[in-house]
A and B are shown apart, each in its own frame.
Chain A
Amino acid sequence: MVVTIRLFARLREIAGASELRRELPEGATAATAWAALAAEFPAMAGYRTAVSCAVNEEYARLGAALQDEDEVAFLPPVSGGCS
């Protein structure tokens, strides 16, 4: 399957792109996508326990199964609002 991976903030900077297309094996979950990313960009490894994920614009667990053409987003710890 092929998925779109969306990255934000520091993760986007590490990858040098806000959006990546990656081929994943059948049966892949969001965690599979994260593992592939962390292997490709070792600087992301430190985010493993802090990252959140969303599949097709809804919050999801890392164990969520992915389908062909899904959009999976990885979110570093958030800091919206004000100071």
Chain B
Amino acid sequence: MKAAGDPRFLVTAAPLDPSAAAVLVADAGDGAVVTFVGLVRDRNAGRRVLWLDYEAYEPLARKAFVTIAGEAAGRWPAVRLAIHHRTGRVDIGEPSVVIAAASPHRAEAFAASRFAIERIKQIAPIWKHEHFEGGETWIEGATADPQDDAARESAFERAWS
């Protein structure tokens, strides 16, 4: 799969549309499409969040999404994924990430969508700058390492639990 120009793997400053992502993956053989929408929440770590600014290394982020879709297809061969991530300012209640997972059967679609969000948090070169009441801070999570087998396995385990 090539990342550039593939509408299934998108990093964009424009608002996200979950149903548009679903349409990109669902076809006549599918009995299920699971759409996961990650939202910007108004509280984090006891702080009142005002908005988030997302920054991405765009070409590498799109490639990471392709990698994630390939890993999911390796585990669940019938599943197809679309992953769209927002950049720039995202206000409370707006989607920051949309994942659509299509499959002939629901179990694989649910599992693959959960796997994808866990994996995005591990290896997608995207950063959150949180603007909260009284200040701002970069949120720093995982050291990105796509070759870390233990991290990938933990994402698969969470997907099935």
Contact = CB atoms under 8 A, between A and B. Distances in A.
Interface in B112-136: 117, 120-129
- Interface of B, helix, strand, loop or mixed by DSSP: mixed
A50 B96 contact: no
Interface in B134-159: 138-147
B73 interface: no
Contact of B145 (A10, A52, A83): A52
Nearest to B116: A81
B138 A76 contact: yes
B85 interface: yes
Instruction: Classify chain B: how many residues form its interface, as a range.
Output: 35 or more
A25 to B, nearest CB: 26
A76 B60 contact: no
A58 B127 CA distance: 18
A9 B63 contact: no
A82 B139 CA distance: 11
A80 interface: yes
Interface of A: 6, 8-10, 12-13, 50-52, 54, 57-59, 73, 75-83
